[in-house]
Amino acid sequence: MRTTVTFLLTGFFGLFSSIQTAHAEAVRPVDFINIFEKIAGKHKGVRKNHAKGICAEGSFLPNPAAIDYFDAALFTLKEKPVVFRFSLPGGNPLTSDNSRAPRGLAAQITLSSNVKHNIAALSVPVFAAKDPETFLGLLNASIPGDDDTTKIEAFRKKHPDTQAQAEWLKNNLPPWGYNTSEYFGIHTFFVEHKDGSMIKIRWRLKPRDGLKAIDESELGLNGSNYLEHRLIERLKKSSIDFDWIISLGEENDSEDDPTKQWPVRPTINVGTFKVKSSGGNNCESINFDPNVLSQGFLTSSDPILRMRSPTYAISFGKRINNN
């Protein structure tokens, strides 16, 4: 049951603010903080979701194709420092790596001393629910109890949008390591084109190490912290590189439902992330809110994306106050 709950928590950090639309006003950011603690227990001084993780450092270098196509401060011919965090979902910082749970990757790119750009991604291409209300209901149905499976199955039947991520996880084995997974931004964003128009995008990070999943027979046999170990060992050889691939959306592509994948669309390789070293705690003081964007980028109306800021803020406040 803990594994199922971990899947549901994947990639979720927060709920939206009072400026959201009326249909979601009953959902409060603190509701999600509370339910995370009900599921995983209270762990002081750590993130309320994706509590287990490892820090890393590196850089981002844009490609000329991005500089020519977009008018965005992030895409300039200059290598920019990046702080990364690889992670596992759930609120327990001691959770084992031996599960089919997705992997997470967050990054903060520094453009200047006071300008940052955050990204957050998962090793699954869709989210667990289409909106905060549905996600809260799914989590409530997932609180450990005697009839866990029955409650979850009944909820999923009433809310078919909750089935896409579960099916993907069922049909795809976890990656062999943090370096052998694609990471998906899941949400829709807009980026300014050179002509001044705003281009609808989604994105993913493609590993130059190639895609490699673990063998099903390995599950449970690699030790509880093998992901961190494999990352550290791999970085002894060279940097771990990811190409940042942006998909250019069309008019009918979903802007506000992260459970719906887009069809195959034209793409631009906008640059390379290089993970150069790992360890330390430099990422632990960072709030990786993906709504923190630099000039030229805008968020969409996706309620799951917009809800992240206030709940990230609550989680961050609890963490720095050791609550």
Q: How far, in whole angstroms, is CA 126 from its chain's centroid?
A: 10
Fold of the CATH domain 2-320: Catalase HpII,  Chain A, domain 1 (2.40.180)
pLDDT at 101: 85
- pLDDT of 134: 97
pLDDT of residue 146: 63
Residue 176: predicted pLDDT: 96
> Quick one: CA torsion of 17, 18, 23, 24, rounded to 10 degrees?
40
Query: Consecutive sets of 10 residues in the chain, 323 residues long: mean pLDDT of each?
Result: 46 41 67 90 91 98 98 96 97 90 96 96 97 94 78 94 95 96 99 98 99 88 92 98 99 97 98 97 96 98 95 91 89
Residues labelled as active-site residues: 50
Q: How many CA atoms lie within 13 A of 124 on its CB side?
A: 29
Say if CB 308 and CB 288 are below 8 A apart.
no
Instruction: Please say whether the beta carbons of 50 and 13 come within 8 A.
Output: yes
In the chain, where the domains are located: 2-320
Q: Which of 99, 84, 95 is nearest to 52 (CA)?
A: 95
How many angstroms separate the Cα of 188 from the Cα of each of 95, 119, 191, 294, 299? Answer: 30, 12, 10, 16, 7
Residue 84 near residue 259 (C-beta atoms within 8 A): no
pLDDT number for residue 12:
47
- How far is Cα 106 from Cα 128, in angstroms, rounded to an integer? 18
49 closest CA partner among 311, 320, 263, 228: 311
How much is the pLDDT for 25? 55
Query: How far apart, in Å, are the Cα atoms of 60 and each of 96, 175, 196, 244?
Result: 30, 23, 24, 9
